[in-house]
Amino acid sequence: MLIKGGHVIDPAAQIDALMDVLLRDGLVAEIALPNKIRGGADEKFDARGLIVAPGFIDLHVHMREPGQSYKETIATGTAAAAVGGFTSVCTMPNTTPVVDSAELVAWLRHPERGAVVNVFPIAAATLNSRGAVLTDFGALHRAGAVAVTDDGKPILEDEIMRAALRLGAQLNLPVVQHAEDTRLTENASMNEGPTSFRLGLRGMSTAAEANIVDRDVTLAQQIRESRLHVAHLSTSDALKAVRRGKRAKARVTCEVTPHHFTLLDEDVGEYNTNFKMNPPLRSATDREAILVALADGTVDAIATDHAPHATHEKEVEFERAAFGITGLETALALAITKLHREHKIPLTRIVELFSAGPARVFDLRGRGSLARGSVADVTVFDPKKKWTFEASKSRSLSHNTPFDGWQFTGKVVATIVGGKTVYRAE
C-alpha cells in the first residue's frame, strides 16, 4: 500500500513533513518526499490533508477476557481500539481468572480471540494478584507478556515490590503499578475534596497515590536496571516523585489518561457513575500539573484505561457502582480537542504520546515509528474534522462513557495494522 500526500509526523524519526509511505509485506518498505517512491503498489491511499502517524499504542486497556465477556471481548475491544486509531493494545491481567500463567498469556494472543489489532498482554506480578508470591516472570515474558502488574490490587508490601523490581530488572521487564494505598481508600468512591464532602462520599486523598509512587520511585532508584511504570498517574504530588526519579536517571516512566487531563472531580455532578473511575477525577490543581507534564515531556504516554462495564454495574448507587469508563474511541479526539487546540500542545508531541512514547515504555521493537523496516502499523487522522461522539454507536460491548454527545475536533480516518486496513472511516 502506498500512502500518498499525507503529512507524516514520526517523532522517533524526527519527521514532520509531507511524505509518501510505502507498506509492503507487513513492513514500512520506504518513506520518502512526495512522488519520489518508484514502483507500483497494489493499493493507494490518498492522505492529502491528513496526518500519517506511527500506529497508536495503548498501554492500558481492560479487554475483560477471560471470564467477563459480558463487558467486553478481545474481538469487540480491539474493534473499538481500531476505531480509535490504536494498532496495539496492552491488556491488563485482572480478568477471571487472573492472567498469571504463560498458558493464559498464550490464550490471550491466540488468533481464535479474533483480535483486529495487536494484543500485548501484561501479566500479573503475583499469583492471582494476591500480593504474596511472584509469578514466573521469565515464563510469562517468553509467552509474550510485555510487563507485569497487579493493577487494581497494588503491591503495598515493600519487600514484594522490591522483589518484583529485582526480578523485572534481570529480564528487562517493566513493573507497572496502579499506585493506590488501598489502606487509605477503603469505601472511597471519588477524589477527596469539596465535591466529595458536598455529596457525602468518602474521598480518596492524593496522598494515597503519591505515597506509593514515592516509595516505588525510591525502590527503582535503589535497584539497578529496574523498570517502574506508573499507571494512570493523576496527582501533582505523584508527578513530583516521577520527576525526581527521572532526574536521578532511574528507569521510571508514567502514563496519563484522557479523562484525567480533561475532567475534574466536580464533574461527577449529582452522582453520575460514568464519572466514577480509579484513580478518580482530581482537582483543578492536579489537572494543571498533568497538563504541564504532558507538555514538558515528563509524561511518557497517553493510555486510556479503557474499562468497560455493563449497564447493571453502573446504574446503581454511586458507592456501589463499578470503577472505570470506556476510552478507546475518544482518546485521540480528546487529545486534539483539549491538549492541542485548547492548551496549544503541538501535534508532534501528541503523536509521540500515542506512539513513540508508549513503544519505548514497554520496548515494543519495530513499533512507534515509520522508519524504513518498522512494522506497518499506521494511524491516519484528520486533525480538523469536527464530529460528535455517540456512545450508542460505540464498537465496545459497553457504553459507560462520560463523553456521550461531546463535540470533538480531530478524528481517526484509517487504522492500518501490519499493512492491513482494519478501520476506515466512512
Partner 1 sequence: MNKPARGSLLSIEHLEEKEILGLLRLARRMNPLKARPLLRNKRIALLFYEASTRTRSSFEVAAKSMGAITVLVLSSGSSIEKGESLLDTGYTLRAVGADAIVIRHPSAGAPLMMAQHLDIPVINAGDGMHEHPSQALLDAFTILKHKKSFKGLQVAIIGDIYHSRVARSACHLLSKVGVKVSLCGPPELVPEFATTLAPGLRITRHIEEALRGADVIMLLRVQQERLAGKKIHLQDYMARYQMTMARLKLAKRDAIVMHPGPIIRGLELTSEVVDGPQSVIVDEVRNGVPTRMAILARALGKAS
Active site residues per annotation: 305
Contact 189, 319 (CB under 8 A): yes
Q: Which residue in the set 43, 130, 170, 197 belongs to the binding site for partner 1 (CB under 8 A)?
A: 197
Q: Which residue in the set 40, 111, 200, 405 belongs to the binding site for partner 1 (CB under 8 A)?
A: 200
Residue 252-271 contact track with partner 1, rule CB under 8 A, x = bound: ------------------xx
Least distance CB 311 / partner 1 (angstroms) = 11
Instruction: Confirm or reject binding of residue 194 to partner 1 (CB under 8 A).
Output: yes
Least distance CB 391 / partner 1 (angstroms) = 14
Least distance CB 279 / partner 1 (angstroms) = 18
Residue type, 226: S
- Using CB under 8 A, which of the segments 130-138, 314-322, 360-368, 387-395 binds partner 1? 314-322
Instruction: Confirm or reject binding of residue 392 to partner 1 (CB under 8 A).
Output: no
Instruction: Confirm or reject binding of residue 386 to partner 1 (CB under 8 A).
Output: no
Q: Which residue in the set 74, 201, 264, 301 belongs to the binding site for partner 1 (CB under 8 A)?
A: 201
- Using CB under 8 A, which of the segments 178-186, 373-381, 392-400, 412-420 binds partner 1? 178-186
Least distance CB 404 / partner 1 (angstroms) = 12
Residue 407 phi/psi, 5-degree rounding, is -95, 130
Instruction: Confirm or reject binding of residue 181 to partner 1 (CB under 8 A).
Output: no
Instruction: Confirm or reject binding of residue 405 to partner 1 (CB under 8 A).
Output: no
Residue closer to partner 1 (CB basis): 312 or 393: 312
46 CB burial (10 A radius; 0-12, 13-18, 19+)? exposed
Instruction: Confirm or reject binding of residue 319 to partner 1 (CB under 8 A).
Output: yes
Instruction: Confirm or reject binding of residue 183 to partner 1 (CB under 8 A).
Output: yes
Residue with cell 507497572: 176
Least distance CB 194 / partner 1 (angstroms) = 4
Least distance CB 268 / partner 1 (angstroms) = 10
- In order, the DSSP letters of 380-399 are EEEEEEEEE--GGG-SSS--
> Cβ contacts of residue 45 below 8 Å, gap of 6+?
1, 2, 3, 4, 380, 414
- Using CB under 8 A, which of the segments 5-13, 27-35, 111-119, 309-317 binds partner 1? 309-317
Number of residues that bind partner 1 (CB under 8 A): 21
For residues 143-172, which are near partner 1 according to CB under 8 A? none
**Which residues in this chain contact partner 1 in the complex, by CB under 8 A?**
183-184, 186-187, 193-194, 197-202, 270-271, 312, 315-320
